[in-house]
Amino acid sequence: MNIIQDLLKRQESGFSLSGEFYRDQAVFEAEVDAFMLGQWMLAGHASRIPSRGDYFLFEMAGCSVIVARTGDGENDIAAFHNVCRHRGAKLCEKAQGNNKAFYCRYHAWSYKLTGELASWRHMPEALDKSEFGLMPCGLKLFNGVIFLSLAPDRAPDFDKMVEHIAHRWDRFDLARTQVIHREVYDLQANWKLGVENNLECYHCLSGHPEYTSAHAFVKADEKAGARAVDEYKQFYDAWLKSVEPTGIEVGVSDYIETDGQLCRAMTWGIGPKHVTGSMDGQPLAPLLGHIEAYDSSVTSGCFGFCSYIIAYCDYLVTVAYVPQSAGRTHIEFTWLVRESAREGADFDRAAVTALWDVTTRQDKDLIELNARGVDSPAYRPGPYSELEWCTSDFISRYKALMARSCADADSESARN
């Protein structure tokens, strides 16, 4: 930890991090220990595993987790480390499937869907079978969205973490949605570069023509001509008046940190001529939840550094930046529409996924460009712009978490 402390002392406020934070495996392993395992990570949606025995794997930083439907109830979902309690072999090898039980093909130990050890062979009678169930992970359902903590004894209080923003999602009825597409973008870059990019739109005007066309605030924030600024102001003022009768909360929520995990949400107007996040601004699918008419709004939620939900009136996406190693990250993207919607009759999958797919592919290219640059010995941290305030805030919170972890490690060492 002394190396991390020395690096932290050299960082300048309002600047990006030094190169070691983006490429050093020792730094990555310190991050995993400091907060990644404990914090809540968005892992998917309950509609991915509709039937008893359905499961999928969530994999992060060398850990593999089984997320399974254990019964017929809406909340009968559990998560376990994908590790046999005998000698550690991996149980589930396929990314998703359906099992009546979890079976280790190495020495034939088997486990119930609920994690208890069901059978073993030729083991000492003195051993208590109940002590050798699968190692559980923390699991919370947020209106059907699955969040995991890989070290639940170190997890923040999830209910406390989301209580100030939970009402913002009521109108979407997220639990009554269905996954229509899932994409994993294999990012050859450090997870922080991905999150830094995600939290700013300083790059949107030059890097995302489709997103910029669909979201008028980009040109307004960039002050890309008096006309763009004036048009968005007129739209936004009218939009505020139009949504007032609906009672939806607009603007940015409080930024509240619970045991080191930040949670916030914001709702704003997309722009004139766009009722949803589509290429042409036109509707894509049946309205979600309790929404009765298109209101040109978008609600975005941040659940820690790496997990996001973005909801329009007729579809939503979940986004997770899942760290794999110092130089590799999975961007896990899921598109969802109303539970009763039928493909072909009510929506076209390609149209629903188009905007965020092209945007994320562009992001992947830009982030990897950034990663190749910070690997250079010529790289020096640069200053954030006023449009990167959210990215700068993320880096400040990250440094504080790492410093706190170093201090805790020092205290523990002194006690021993």
DSSP-derived secondary structure for 340-409? T--BTTTB-HHHHHHHHHHHHHHHHHHHHHHHHHHTSTT----BPPGGGHHHHHHHHHHHHHHHHHHHHH
H/E segment holding residue 58: strand 54-60
pLDDT at residue number 228? 86
pLDDT at residue number 250? 96
* In the predicted structure, residue 1 carries a pLDDT above the cut 60: no
* In the predicted structure, residue 5 carries a pLDDT above the cut 80: yes
Average pLDDT of the residues in 251-260:
94
Cα gap 189→82, rounded to integer Å: 26
Average pLDDT of the residues in 179-186:
99
Q: Token pair of 240, please? A: 């505020």
Average pLDDT of the residues in 43-63:
98
pLDDT at residue number 416? 65
Residue type, 370: N
pLDDT at residue number 224? 78
pLDDT at residue number 227? 85
Q: Any idea what the Cα angle at residue 109 is, between residues 107 and 113, rounded to 5°?
A: 145
Average pLDDT of the residues in 126-155:
98
* In the predicted structure, residue 411 carries a pLDDT above the cut 80: no
* In the predicted structure, residue 23 carries a pLDDT above the cut 80: yes
* In the predicted structure, residue 226 carries a pLDDT above the cut 90: no
Confidence grade of residue 3 (pLDDT, cut at 50, 70, 90): confident
Q: Which residues of 182-206 are buried (b: 16+ CB within 10 A; e: fewer)?
A: beebebebbbbbbbbbbbbbbbbbe
The answer to which of 53-62, 151-160, 399-408 has the lowest mean pLDDT is 399-408
Considering the domain 158-392 in this protein, what is its CATH number?
3.90.380.10
pLDDT at residue number 339? 98
Nearest to 305 by CA among 399, 207, 201: 399
- Characterise 53 by phi-psi region: left (phi > 0), alpha (psi -120 to 50), beta (else): left
pLDDT at residue number 223? 84
Q: Token pair of 177, please? A: 């949605």
pLDDT at residue number 413? 66
Residue 281 neighbours by CB under 8 Å, 6+ apart: 214, 270, 273, 274, 275
Residue position matching structure tokens 């220990």:
33
Q: What is the mean pLDDT of the chain?
A: 96
Contact by Cβ (8 Å): 161, 258: yes
Q: Any idea what the Cα angle at residue 74 is, between residues 69 and 78, rounded to 5°?
A: 35
* In the predicted structure, residue 325 carries a pLDDT above the cut 60: yes
Domain ranges of the chain: 41-155, 158-392
Whole-Å CA distances, 276 to 205, 310, 315, 348: 19, 12, 8, 15
* In the predicted structure, residue 347 carries a pLDDT above the cut 60: yes
pLDDT at residue number 51? 98
Instruction: Give me the residues paired with residue 146 across strands.
Output: 44, 141
Cα gap 151→18, rounded to integer Å: 29
* In the predicted structure, residue 412 carries a pLDDT above the cut 80: no
Contact by Cβ (8 Å): 121, 175: no
- Decide which of 414 and 301 is more confident: 301
Whole-Å CA distances, 221 to 215, 228, 230, 239: 11, 9, 11, 17
**Superfamily (CATH H level) for 41-155:** Rieske [2Fe-2S] iron-sulphur domain (2.102.10.10)
Q: Token pair of 180, please? A: 């229509």
* In the predicted structure, residue 74 carries a pLDDT above the cut 60: yes
